[in-house]
Amino acid sequence: MEIERKFLIDRLPEDAKEYPYHIIEQGYLSTEPVVRVRKEDDSYYLTYKSKGLLEREEYNLPLTKKSYEHLLKKTDGHVLTKKRYLIPISNQNLTIELDIFEGRFEGLILAEVEFKTREDAQSFLPPDWFGKDVTFSGEYQNSRLSSQP
């Protein structure tokens, strides 16, 4: 089960780019249900996600590079590219996944925080540099972004 909140980011913290990061490329074979292929650095995955905004089922299956490249050609919509910084919130034992989009969505910056329980997610107080909470709008789900005209 994935439990996460998502926020728009208007301004980056000064040290954001000092944290470790991943280079991510992903495309969608289906958006309902969500079936995604992703390259994260040198690892490849096929992911299924159920419906939902705050909570949803998520399953990741490893792929080979060859399988990933084959499936990526079959995706619909736009392939998303982003750099994901991993910023710890040490006093809460959480990690901010800060996504800085490139390519078609350059300028878009989102932060996601995953939680162990729904209660933890609902009681989370975001850092002051977080912008609007877009968890429940669905507008900024990557699968929806990929299908924008």
Return the active site residues.
Answer: 28
Determine which helix (DSSP H) or strand (DSSP E) holds 52, and give its type and residue range: none
58-79 in b/e form (b: 16+ CB < 10 A) is beeeebeeeebeebbeebeebe
- Look at strands 21-31 and 43-49 and give their pairing: unpaired
Cα gap 119→112, rounded to integer Å: 16
Cα gap 46→138, rounded to integer Å: 21
Neighbouring C-beta atoms of residue 44, cutoff 10 Å: 21
DSSP secondary structure string for all residues of 23-50 = EEEEEEEEETTEEEEEEETTEEEEEEE-
Q: Which two tokens stand for residue 48?
A: 């299924």
